[in-house]
Amino acid sequence: MGRWVIMFGFGLLSACTVATLPPEAAVGLWSSSAVSLELRAEGGTLSYQCGAGTIAGDWRLDPDGTFTGTGEHFFGGGPAPIEGRPPNRARYSGRIHGRRFTLTVSLIDLGQQLGPFELTRGETIVGPVCL
């Protein structure tokens, strides 16, 4: 019975040791073929093939790698109107695991979702390709 208690205790201890991520783990350049994200402590900018976005400085990375943030999304394509493109309120959510960042963009006022996008740390920036 003594061995069983030791093995149970070891299993319980192992279950409690979870790798945690500091907020700095999200800071940097992330990209895929469709979107790139430059995230800083004070906020971030996204470039899509046909749009752009911003993330406010109150974004958060939980110790388990769950990312949340708010900001704006701007659709692109075609000639830009003189008054500019209206922003759409956006909620950014995702998860960081190593060099991978799965990111989803929810357009609050439109009830639409973009993604999920599978980003990789340190890749090249996506430029506008819209016609």
Task: Spell out the residues 6+ positions from residue 36 whose beta carbon is closer than 8 angstroms to its own.
Answer: 29, 30, 46, 47, 119, 123, 124, 125, 126
- pTM for this predicted structure: 0.78
Reported as a single tens digit per residue, the pLDDT across 32-90 is 888 999 999 999 999 888 888 999 999 999 999 999 999 999 988 666 666 778 899 99
How large a percentage of the chain has pLDDT more than 70? 73
